[in-house]
Structure 1
Amino acid sequence: MSTALPRAARVATWTFFTLNGFAIGLWVVHIPDVERATGISHSTLGLLLLVLGGAAFVGMQVVGPLVDRLGQRRLLPAAGVLLGLAMFGPGLADSWWALGLALVVLGFANGMLDVAMNSHAVVVERAYPRPIMASFHAMWSIGGAAAAAVGAVALGAGVPTAVSLSCAGVLCAVVSLITARFLIDGAQSPAAARAESGPRSTPTRLVWLLGGLAFALMLAEGVANDWAALHFKDVLGTSDSTAAFAYGAFAVAMTAGRFATDRVAALLGPVAIVRYGAALAAVGLLLVSFTAWVPLALVGWALFGLGLAGGVPQLFTAAGNLDTRASGALMARVVGLGYVGLLAGPALIGGLAHWMPLNTAFLVPVVLCVLAAVFGSVIAPREPAVADRSAG
C-alpha cells in the first residue's frame, strides 16, 4: 500500500469525526429552541432523548455486520449522508410525535456513523507504524466546539433553528460524498489479507471485557458532561458563569489529552494509557469530591478529563483488531456498550443525588475508573495485532 493512500484516508477520517461532532453539537445547542417550538415539557424531552439514545444503539448494531460485509468505503459515506438528511427533522418538527420520529432517524444515523467511522479509523491506523486513533476522537471534540461557536452566533442573530440544522445537514451530506473517494476498506489492509488464511474465532469473553471497560470510562465521561457545572453551582455555590468553567476545564483537558495520547501510546503502549489514565481520572474526581476550594476543584475536573482522554480510543482500536474479518461487528458491541454508559452516567448520578450529596455520588465513577485501571491489561495486543502494526 502506498504512503499517499493512508494519508488521504487519514485526513478523510478526521473529516468524518469533525463532521459528526459538529452535527451533534449543533443539535445539542438548539435543543432549548426545539423544545419551545414543539411545546413539549422537560420530562417529555427527557424521554425523547432516551429514544434518540436507543435508536443510536440500534444503528450501531445494524451497521457493524454491514461494515464487515460491504466495507467501510461504502458504509461510511452512506452513514454521513443519512446523518445529513436526519438533521432536517428536528428543526422542522412541530409536535412531540414529529420530534420523536425525527430523533429516531437522527439517533439511528448517528449510531451508524459512529461505528462506521471508528471502524475506518482502525483500518487506517493499521497502515501506520504508530497509534493515531486518539487524534480522530480529538477532532470530534473540535467539531463539537465549532458547533457551540457557530450555534451561539446563529442563535444570537435570530437564524431559525430549521435553517441552522438544515444547513448543517447539507454540509454533512455534501462533504461525505466528496470525501468518499479517499476512504479505504479493511480488505485492502495487509492484516486482513493474512487473516483470511487463518482460523476464524470470535473472542467473546474479551469483547465483553472491552465493552465493560468502555462502559465504565464513558459513564464517567457522561457524568462530567452533565454534572460538572451543576457541581460547581450546587455544591460549591458559584455563579452560573463560574460554573461553566468546570465543564470547560474538563473538555479542554480531554481534547488536549487526545491530541497527545497517540505519541504517549507509541512510547508506553495502550495498556499504560488505559491503566494510568483511568487512575489519574480517579484521582481527579476524588479531588473534585472532597475539596471546597474552587481553583482546586477546577484542577480536579481538568485531571479527570486528561485521564479519560486516551482510554476509549485504545479500547476501540483493540476491539477492531480482535478479528479483522469481523471488525465492524465486534466494534459495534464495544462502542454500543460504551454509549450505554455515556447515557447511563448522568441518570445514575441524578438518581443517587436524591439520596446523598452530589459530590458523594461522584464516588461511583471513581470506583469504575479504579476498576478500569485494574483491568486495563486486557487490551494488550494479541500477537496478530503486534505483527499488523509493525507491517505499517
Structure 2
Amino acid sequence: MGRPLVDTEGVGKHRTVIGTVETVLTPTADRPTRVARVAVFTVFGLNGFLLAMWVVHIPLITDRTGVAKSTLGMFILLMAGAGIVGMRITGPLADRFGSRTLVAAAAIIMSAAAIGPGLATGPISLAIALACFGFGNGALDVSMNTQAVHVERAYGRPIMGAFHALFSGGGLLGSLLGAATLRAGWDLRMTLGSAAIGGVALTFAVLPRLLRDTDTARATERAGDARIPTEAVDDYVARSAEHGSAAMKNAEPDPPLAKHSEPGPPVGKDAESRPSFAEDSPPDSSVAKSTDQREHNRKVLALAAIAFSVLLAEGVAGDWSTLQLREHLGADAATAALAFGAFSVTMTAGRLAADRVSGIFGRVAVVRYGMLLCALGLALIMASPWIPLTLSGWALMGLGLSGSVPQIFTAAGNLGSDKAATDMSRVFSIGYLGLLAGPAVIGWLTAVIPLTTAMAVPLIAVLVCCRYAGVVAPEPTDRLRR
C-alpha cells in the first residue's frame, strides 16, 4: 500500500510510493535565489564571527578597562537589553522597508561597533561600546532571520538549519583567528578594527545579492508549481487503501484536491432543511474549548521553560568559557580562547547533523541524551585539573546543546494550534531571556563564589531539561512524527 513520505518541515519534497511506482516532485530554486542563499549564509557567518571576536578578547578587555567580573555580568546584561531594543525597532522597520535594507544597516552598525570594546579605557566607555554592539547584534538577528525566511520560502524546502550552522561556523572562525592574533601579539585595537573594516566591506559585497521581499512571492510561485499539498497525498492514499490493492491498480481515483474544495452555500429547500450545527452544538462545548486551551498553554509554557534552560547554558558557554579556563587553570589568553573554539566546532557539527539524527532516533532522544552529554561536559569543566580535559568538556557541552534548540522550536510550531507562530514567539522570547539571564547570573555569583563553582547553575538547568525532555514529543496532530 502506498504511503506519503514528507520532509521534516512539511514543504518541499513530497513522495508517493505505490507498489514500485514512485513520483518525486522537488521545487528547484532559480539562480537569484541560490545566490541569495549564499549571501545570507555569509551574513549569518559574519554575525557569529563578530560575536566570537568579542568573546575571545574578554580577558584582555577586562584587564584594559579594570572591570570586575561582577560588573562585567551587568555590562553583558546591558548589551543584551540593547539587543532587545534593536530587535523591537528592527521588526516594524523590516516590514516597512524590507529585510534586505535592514540587514545591510544592522550589519554595518554591528561591524562598526565591534571596535568599540577595544577602544574602551574604563567602565563607562566599555558600557557604551557594548550597548552599541548589542543593539547592532539584536537588529541583525531579526533582519537576517527575516531575510532567511524569505529565501527559504523561495526555495520551497527547509534550509534554516544550515543558516544557523553557518552562524556557529562564523563563531568558530572568529575564535580561531582571535586566538591566532593573540598568540601573534597583535594589538587589541588593530584586531577588532580589522574585523570592523572587514565586516563593513563584506556587507556591501553581499547587499546586491540579497532578495528583495517583493521577489519572494514570485520565486515561491515558481517553486510552488512543483509541490503537492500534503493533505491531497494523504487523501489519495487513504482512499486507495479503502478499495484494496487490486482496486488501487485498476480504479481511476478522483482528483485528490476535489475533496478539499469548499461547497457553496445551500439554496432553496436545501437551505431550509439543512440543520444548523452552530445552534445544535452542545452547551458545554465552550468548556471543552477552554480546557483544551489551558492544556495547550501548559504545553507552550513547558517548552518555553525547556528553551529557557537550554539557552541559559548556551549563553554561559558563550560569555564565560574563556574566563573559566584562564581563572581555573591559569591558561594564557590565546589558550583560553580555545575553550570557546572547542564549544563552537562541536556546536556547528551537531547542528549540521541534528536533522538526520532526529529523523532516526526522535526529538525526545536528541534532547534527553544531548542534555546528558552537556551535563557530562560541565562536570568535566568543573572537576578537571588539566587544560586538554577541560577543553574536552567544553566540546561535549557544545555537542550536547547543538541539537536541542531545533527540536524545541519544531515542537512549538507543531502543537496542533491554528496560531503556531504565536506559540513559537512565546517559546522564543522566554528562551532568549535564558540566553540573557545565564551569563548575568554567573557574573553576580562570581562576587561570592569561584567562577568554576558557579557552573553548577547551567549543570542543574540541563539536568532539569534531561528529566523533562518528553515535552518535545510529537503531538497526535503533528505531521512530523519523529
Tell me, yes or no, whether TM beats 0.5.
yes
Relative to 1, partners in 2 of residues 1:29 and 1:176: Cα closer, same or farther, differing over 3 Å? farther
Asked if the contact 2:76/2:440 (under 8 Å) is kept, the reply is no
| CA–CA separation in structure 1 for the residues paired with 2:181 and 2:322 | 22
Give 1:58's aligned amino acid: V
Q: Is the 8 A contact 2:156 2:220 kept in 1?
A: no
Do structure 1's residue 261 and structure 2's residue 354 form an aligned pair?
yes
1:175 aligns with 206
* Compared CA separation, residues 34 and 232, structure 1 to 2 (3 A): closer
Q: Partners of 1:362 and 1:48 in 2: how far apart?
A: 19
Task: Return the letter of the residue paired with 2:137.
Answer: N
Of stretches 180-189 and 266-275 in structure 1, the one that deviates more from structure 2 is: 180-189
Q: 1:280 to 1:30 in 2, by over 3 A?
A: closer
Residues 335 and 169 of structure 1: CA distance in aligned 2, closer, same or farther (over 3 Å): farther
- Structure 1 spans left out of the alignment, 5+ residues: none
TM-score, scaled to structure 1: 0.73
In structure 2, do the counterparts of structure 1 residues 312 and 61 end up closer, same or farther at CA, with 3 Å as the change threshold? Answer: farther
Distance in 2 (alpha carbons) for counterparts of 1:257 and 1:234: 28
The separation in 2 between residues aligned to 1:379 and 1:76, in whole angstroms, is: 34
1:362 aligns with 2:455: yes
| Larger helix share, 1 or 2 | 1
Choose which of 181, 196, 209 in structure 1 pairs with 2:302. 209
2:334 maps to 1:309: no
Give the Cα separation in 2 of the matches to 1:371 and 1:127.
39
Q: Which whole-Å deviations, capped at 9, do the CAs of 1:114-154 have from their partners, x for residues lacking one?
A: 24444565676689999754432221122123334566669
Contact 1:65-1:326 within 8 A present in 2 as well: no
Cα pair distance change 1:357/1:19, threshold 3 Å: closer
Q: Give how far 1:50 is off.
A: 3.1
Cross-structure match for 2:44? 17
What residue in structure 1 maps to residue 87 of structure 2? 60
Asked if the contact 2:168/2:345 (under 8 Å) is kept, the reply is: no
Residue 42 of structure 1 corresponds to 67
The root-mean-square deviation of aligned C-alpha atoms, in Å, is 4.7
Contact 2:106/2:136 (<8 A) preserved: yes
Shift in Å, 1:108 = 3.2
Deviation at 1:281, TM superposition (A): 0.8
SS state of the match for residue 180, structure 1?
coil
Equivalent of 1:165, from 178, 187, 196? 196
> What displacement does 1:306 show?
1.0
Between 318-327 and 361-370, report the one with greater CA deviation: 318-327
TM-aligned CA deviation for residue 369 of structure 1 = 0.5
| Residue 263 of structure 1: how far off its partner (Å) | 1.8
Contact kept in structure 2, 1:90 and 1:99, CA below 8 Å: no
- Structure 2: which 5+ runs fail to align? 1-11, 13-26, 232-260, 262-288
Q: Report % sequence identity.
A: 42
Shift of 1:262: 2.3
Q: Which amino acid aligns with 1:269?
A: G
Question: Is the Cα contact below 8 Å between 2:172 and 2:341 reproduced in 1?
Answer: no
Match of 1:347 among 420, 437, 440: 440
- 1:156 equivalent in structure 2: 186
For 2:102, the equivalent position in structure 1 comes to 78
Question: Which structure is higher in RCO with an 8 Å CA cutoff and minimum separation 6?
Answer: 1
Query: 2: CA distance between counterparts of 1:34 and 1:300?
Result: 25
Match of 1:107?
134
> 2:299 touches 2:471 (CA, 8 Å); kept in 1?
yes
Alignment of 1:276-295 (within 5 A): 276-295=369-388
CA change 1:11–1:240 in 2 (3 A) is closer
Kept after mapping to 1: 8 A contact 2:50/2:114: no
- Structure 1 residues 18-48: Cα deviation after superposition (integer angstroms, max 9, x where no partner): 1321343345567789889xx9652677655
Work out the number of aligned pairs and report it: 380
Contact 1:83 1:173 in 2 (8 A): no
Task: Give 2:29's aligned residue.
Answer: 4
Deviation at 1:54, TM superposition (A): 0.3
Q: Hey, what's the Cα distance between the residues in 1 that align with 2:152 and 2:460?
A: 32
Is the CA contact 2:76–2:130 (under 8 Å) kept in the aligned structure 1?
Answer: yes
In structure 2, relative to structure 1, the CA distance for the partners of 1:241 and 1:41 (3 Å cut) is: closer
CA contact 2:315–2:438 (8 Å) conserved in 1:
yes
Cross-structure match for 2:246: none
* SS of corresponding position for 2:393: helix
Within 5 Å, which residues of 2 pair with 1:197-276? Answer: 204-236=297-329, 242-276=335-369
Identify which of 170, 174, 179 aligns with 1:143: 170
Mapped to 2, the partners of 1:173 and 1:324 lie a distance apart of 41
Farther off after superposition, 84-93 or 219-228: 84-93
How far off is 1:355 after superposition? 3.8
